[in-house]
A and B are shown apart, each in its own frame.
Chain A
Amino acid sequence: MAGIVLERLSKVFPGGVRAVDAIDLEIADGEFFALLGPSGCGKTTLLRTIAGLEAATSGTLRLGDRDVTRLPPGARDVAMVFQDYALFPHMTVLDNVAYPLKIKKTPKQERYARATETGESLSLGELLDRRPAQLSGGQQQRAALARAIAVHPQVFLFDEPLSNLDARLRLEARTFIKRLQRELAVTTVFVTHDQAEALAMSDRMAVMEAGQIRQVGTPREVFRRPASVFVANFIGSTPMNLLPATVADGAVRTGGVELPVPDEYAARLPSGLDVVYGIRPEYVRLDGATGTVTGEVSVVEHLGTAELVTVSTTAGEIRAVVPDVDEPAVGDTVGVTFSAGQALVYRAEDGALID
């Protein structure tokens, strides 16, 4: 049981690549924490630095009350589950699960007892004497998890835990892992590039770009109030509407239309400022013929029980999510209305949220 504290942690590779750039982060004990970002953002390097597989160039890393920055990986009391599970192909599942205990010199009887117990708790009881090659993808994942759990580490590190499973299995595994983590209450950090996964599984998350953290918060916070255009673009299954606009007379205007903003912005919008108006398609309505702006429907994409409708207007291309019963036809003229309370305004210059 331990929280994780990173203080100005950096990893610079030979050649000057700042894969992790002076990161400050605090992860609470028992928290399920996601590192989210596009490829190359440094999330995997950060995870590997926490594990000790990469040596930090500067800064400190604390696990619980220990400074582990210079400790070798085996001494940090962490367990890591790799993307390909790394189950040793020449050992049985039981031997795999017991392996970390073997390294820690646990007496033979005890380690096999613990390994068996852990395996059974993850429904691997019948499979313990099989080789990894004889297991299905989902079973292999549980075996890798069992190996990490059996050694009772202070921290779990998961590198893209679900990406090797097929789509259907992935959803089941999400629920399974979340429940498991809750039961074990061990601090867990996992890396993913899938924002839906991060939103669904984590207690809190960090969105990373170019080696730096752009936002830390609960899924709700990050979804509701993305701190920058980058985060706004990255989070959410349907891309957020981001309309370039300018502030004039205290209102946000573009293409001859005033875009409604929440009251709290009233005082904070200096005139003449170039901004980006952000609102999720879920908060855009197509009600009849009138609205804040009208336009012509150009694309309709089927999402299941809803439709993603793209409307061409003078304010730009606006996307709205519409229940399928209200599906408009391509070429229809519709009125677009915004839920003002859900709108966000970003500074065009640096993409930061104005608040």
Chain B
Amino acid sequence: MALAEPVEAAPPGPTASTDAAGLGRARAWLFVAPGLVLVAIFLVFPALWTIYLGTTNYELLGERKVSPEFVGLDNYTDTLADPEFHDSVVKTLLFVFGSALVGQMCLGFAIAWMLRTAGVWVRRTVETVVLMAWILPGSIVGFLWYAFLSEDDGTLNAILPVGDSAWLVEHPMWSIVIFNTWRGTAFSMLLFTAALATVPPSQLETARLSGAGGWQQLRDVVLPNIRGHILTNALLISLWTFNDFTPFLITGGEGSEILPIYIYKTALTGQQQLGLASAVSLIVLLINLVVALAYLAMLRRRRVR
């Protein structure tokens, strides 16, 4: 963001006062306070409250709403024994591994790699189209895929030579994995495009002069150089995919009960067991925490190097 002004002066040294407008500490706190209050009420408090709620049998309606009881760790033991929960965990792992780690990363990398040698217009067109899939609102892409995969009238069935299938009903997990790959590849593509640009051309040229072919250059020069990017990207998109609710918009949650949908169903459908759902939520939040911390640690290590 170039600001229109003459050569910037060096800032007055690390020990000079940075309070340029003379705000003062009191006013600074005043400025920061409203934002902090908002975040405290709508982000911090709910997160902490989850811990308490997970130990009650709070439900949305009826007696258990008015006077919920403390049930200790019952919610947790019930959950961990629940076969539906196990099923959900398996589905979630499949979803994250299949659509994020394999799908988005590989496809994103492949596209970034190929586009390096493509012409300007080809690159712009492909990038735009991939990007569109990412920036369109979730409800719209949800419907587009609902229509695309529709048994009666969907475009996929129309163009495939084999007989019409009810993709969403018969293969819900495949549907959401392919969908999410399509949806999120743009991020990996952009990230790898930037990462590939940091590979020193001189190293690639050295390899080429030594006789290394395309695959070998990839293996010996490119991948080692962007290893850090691969790791941080993997962590980040795994975190996002793990918490993604969008598949609900395509399958309505049937046959594809990944954890986000499992929590939703427990909390707001059927018996509407908010206490139980809070317990599961806490498990998910803790997993998120671990992944996020790993991500930050990776970032810091990359920056130091």
Contact = CB atoms under 8 A, between A and B. Distances in A.
Direct contact between A and B in the complex (CB less than 8 angstroms)? yes
A123 interface: no
Contact of B4 (A40, A83, A133): A133
A107 interface: no
Interface residues of A, number: 27
Contacts of A72: 22
Contacts of B10: 83
Q: Is the interface of A mostly helix, strand, loop or mixed?
A: loop
B16 A87 contact: no
Given A19-B15, A54-B16, A132 B9 contact: no
B4 A89 contact: yes
B3 interface: yes
B155 to A, nearest CB: 51
A182 B7 CA distance: 28
B161 interface: no
A19 B16 CA distance: 9
Interface residues of B, number: 15
A55 to B, nearest CB: 8
B12 A44 contact: yes
Contacts of B16: 44-45, 48, 54
Interface in B1-58: 3-10, 12-13, 15-17, 20, 22
A53 B17 contact: yes
A140 B17 contact: no
Contacts of A73: 22
Contacts of B12: 44-45, 48
Contacts of A283: none
B9 A84 contact: yes
Contacts of B9: 82-84, 159-160, 164
B8 A13 contact: no
A288 to B, nearest CB: 50
B15 A132 contact: no
Contacts of A133: 4-5
A87 B15 contact: no
A137 B6 contact: yes
Given A72-B22, A73-B22, A13 B15 contact: yes
A138 B275 CA distance: 70
A180 interface: no
Given A44-B12, A48-B12, A72-B22, A89 B5 contact: yes
Which 10 A-B pairs have CB atoms at the shortest separation, nearest pair first?
A133-B4, A83-B9, A84-B9, A13-B15, A89-B4, A164-B7, A89-B5, A140-B6, A54-B17, A17-B15
Interface of B: 3-10, 12-13, 15-17, 20, 22
